[in-house]
Structure 1
Amino acid sequence: MTTSESGEAGVDAAEDVDRTYAVVLDHLPHGRPGDDRPQYKKSPLAYALGESAFRLLELTLDDDADVSIGDRIAVDPAGERDPVDRYREVEYDDLSNAATSELEYVVEEIVDREERRFVDFYNEAQPITLRLHQLNLLPGIGKKLRNDVLDERKREPFESFDDLEDRIAGLHDPKGVLVDRIIEELRDEDLKYRTFVGDDG
């Protein structure tokens, strides 16, 4: 994972969105409520969260799409995208209330499912500047905890969230602080540094 300053190397959603799966946050079978066009002109929509880069997406669905909140669906510009007709990247403020409510649960589910990927963040995090380390971007991790993680991972890489919790006194919820940071990066478009959102690997 890499950290970049927001605003640099902007992402063109149409060209650079290459994640394979997204998780549905909300399904609007009749399109956006504020869309005043006749119903026959409105396509069903879904809001979703891309799994690899945590990008927020608005999916335009096929009329007969069978989609529910929590579904993992393929979003692959290089292949078949059924039931997705097209998609675009959106901001946190564009989400429906239901999608906003679902977001934290879905982020936690992704972090759970891909535990190895996120444990490796603790194993591989690097300095951003002379005074700031990627680990310090996580809520509640100050200089002491950061140094404890760095010292311990030199001895042996962390294998799981439980391993982290056992070996780092004071780091009581290593998964939860990652989830909190990801949610913060999704909500606040003015953050200077992003470690998880918009990172395709």
Structure 2
Amino acid sequence: MTTTESGDVDGDDSEDLRRAVVLDHLPHGRADDDRPRHRKSPLAYALGERDFRLFELTLADDADVSIGDRVVIGPTGKRVAVDGFKQVTYDDLSNTAVGELEYAVEAIVDADEKRFVDFYNDAQPITLRLHQLNLLPGIGKKLRNNVLDQRKRGPFESFEEVEERVSGLHNPKEVLVERILEELRDDDLKYKTFVGRNG
């Protein structure tokens, strides 16, 4: 099974694959690992595409991996470059990985626009006073109600349509990206809509 230029995987089971985007590649392992260089495995930091979990990947010695590459992390039998992985927090990331995070989140959102536009279509109340839409930066009661009114008239098909139909909501994609980054940086947020909980 190979990954094509478009990122699609040859074969019919690509829906079952878990993928991650490489944020940083450490061919000689972590600097704080005191073992001799020949005993250290190459590592990478990566962002899961499905639930934005952060991972430290142990790579195969011959893995040809670069920042921005999409790698298969599961199921085990489908992995090529990745020997294993563990979930990490934002604070565990290298400086390079932190710097790449926003680009990776944007790329994931761009590649699956319908999934993220559907957040505007499907967001629900969390409590009597708080709605999922209110978790987005800059969205208060008025903008939330504008979104809810517009989606009653029919679902949004694109970010562009969200922006055209919802008066006052500028850059709906960037608003989501900002929220995802906030959820990644702050492990203690009470409500996480996009990022899977550590565990």
Partner of 1:90: 88
Q: Secondary structure at the match of 2:78?
A: coil
Partner of 2:145: 147
Q: Which moved more, 1:70-79 or 1:123-132?
A: 70-79
Distance across 1 between alignment mates of 2:191 and 2:22: 26
Q: Which runs of 5+ in 1 are unaligned?
A: 1-17
Distance across 2 between alignment mates of 1:186 and 1:77: 24
Partner of 2:7: none
> Which residue of 125, 139, 157 maps to 1:159?
157
Q: Residue type of the partner of 1:125?
A: A
TM-score normalised per structure 1:
0.89
TM-score normalised per structure 2:
0.89
Q: Which runs of 5+ in 2 are unaligned?
A: 1-15
Larger RCO (CA under 8 A, 6+ residues apart): 1
Distance across 1 between alignment mates of 2:17 and 2:94: 22
Distance across 2 between alignment mates of 1:97 and 1:164: 34
**CA RMSD between the two structures:** 1.1
Partner of 1:131: 129
1:81 offset after TM fit, Å?
1.0
Q: Secondary structure at the match of 1:194?
A: coil
Question: What pairs with 1:1-201 in structure 2 (closer than 5 Å)?
Answer: 20-198=18-196
Indicate conservation of the 8 Å contact 1:19/1:50, yes or no. Answer: no
Q: Could you report, residue by residue, the CA deviation over 1:111-154 in whole angstroms, capped at 9, with x for unpaired residues?
A: 11110000000000000000000000000000000001001101
Q: Secondary structure at the match of 2:77?
A: coil
Q: Residue type of the partner of 2:173?
A: K
- The number of residue pairs the alignment matches comes to 182
TM-aligned CA distance change 1:19 to 1:189, over 3 Å: farther
Q: Secondary structure at the match of 2:74?
A: coil
Distance across 2 between alignment mates of 1:170 and 1:79: 48
